[in-house]
Amino acid sequence: MLAGGQTCSLVVTNDGLGNGIIILPFLAILERVDRKHQFWHTQNEILKCEEFLKQAEVSGNVGDVPALWRRFNPKDHCAMIEFMREHMVGRLINLRLTCREDDANYFQFRDLARERDVDCWDLYECGDSIYNAPIGISLERLLLRKGLPPGSHDRRWLGTFGNSGHGRYQQPTLALCLSASQKKKRWSPHLWSQLATRAIRAADARVLIFAGRSREEKTYARQAFDGLCMSVPSAKAKLIEDLSLEDFARALRQASYAVTHDSFVSHLCAAMAIPSITLFLCTNSRIWRPYGLGGSRIIQSQEALDCERMKRDGTCERYYKTCEATCAAGIMPDQVHEVLLPLLLQYAEGRPVSEGEQ
Counts for the chain of helices (H) and strands (E), in that order: 12, 11
Considering the domain architecture, whether residues 148 and 265 belong to the same structural domain is answered as no
Considering the domain architecture, whether residues 147 and 178 belong to the same structural domain is answered as no
Domain range for 82 is: 3-152
Question: What mean pLDDT is predicted for residues 267-288?
Answer: 94
pLDDT tens-digit series, residues 216-260: 999 999 999 999 999 998 889 999 999 999 999 999 999 999 999
Choosing from 152, 186, 208, the residue where a domain stops is 152
Considering the domain architecture, whether residues 201 and 107 belong to the same structural domain is answered as no
pLDDT tens-digit series, residues 151-196: 666 788 998 898 865 555 668 999 999 998 888 899 999 999 999 9
pLDDT tens-digit series, residues 320-334: 777 776 888 899 999
Considering the domain architecture, whether residues 148 and 195 belong to the same structural domain is answered as no
Cα–Cα distance list, 194 to 156, 191, 229, 337 (Å) = 31, 5, 11, 10
pLDDT tens-digit series, residues 210-226: 999 999 999 999 999 99
pTM for the model = 0.92
Does residue 1 have a pLDDT over 60? Answer: no
d(CA 317, CA 55): 36
d(CA 308, CA 317): 9
> For residue 227, is it within any domain?
yes
CATH label of the domain that carries residue 127: 3.40.50
Considering the domain architecture, whether residues 188 and 143 belong to the same structural domain is answered as no
94-114 exposure pattern, b = at least 16 Cβ within 10 A, e = fewer:
bbbbbebeebeebeebbebbe
> For residue 286, is it within any domain?
yes
Considering the domain architecture, whether residues 83 and 221 belong to the same structural domain is answered as no
> For residue 141, is it within any domain?
yes
Considering the domain architecture, whether residues 136 and 190 belong to the same structural domain is answered as no
Considering the domain architecture, whether residues 94 and 216 belong to the same structural domain is answered as no
Does residue 36 have a pLDDT over 60? Answer: yes
d(CA 233, CA 230): 8
Considering the domain architecture, whether residues 144 and 34 belong to the same structural domain is answered as yes
Q: For the chain, how many structural domains are there in total? A: 2
The whole-number pLDDT of residue 325 equals 66
Task: Answer whether 104's CB lies under 8 Å from 77's CB.
Answer: no
Does residue 358 have a pLDDT over 70? Answer: no
> For residue 289, is it within any domain?
yes
Which residue, 297, 213, 291, is CA-closest to 260? 297
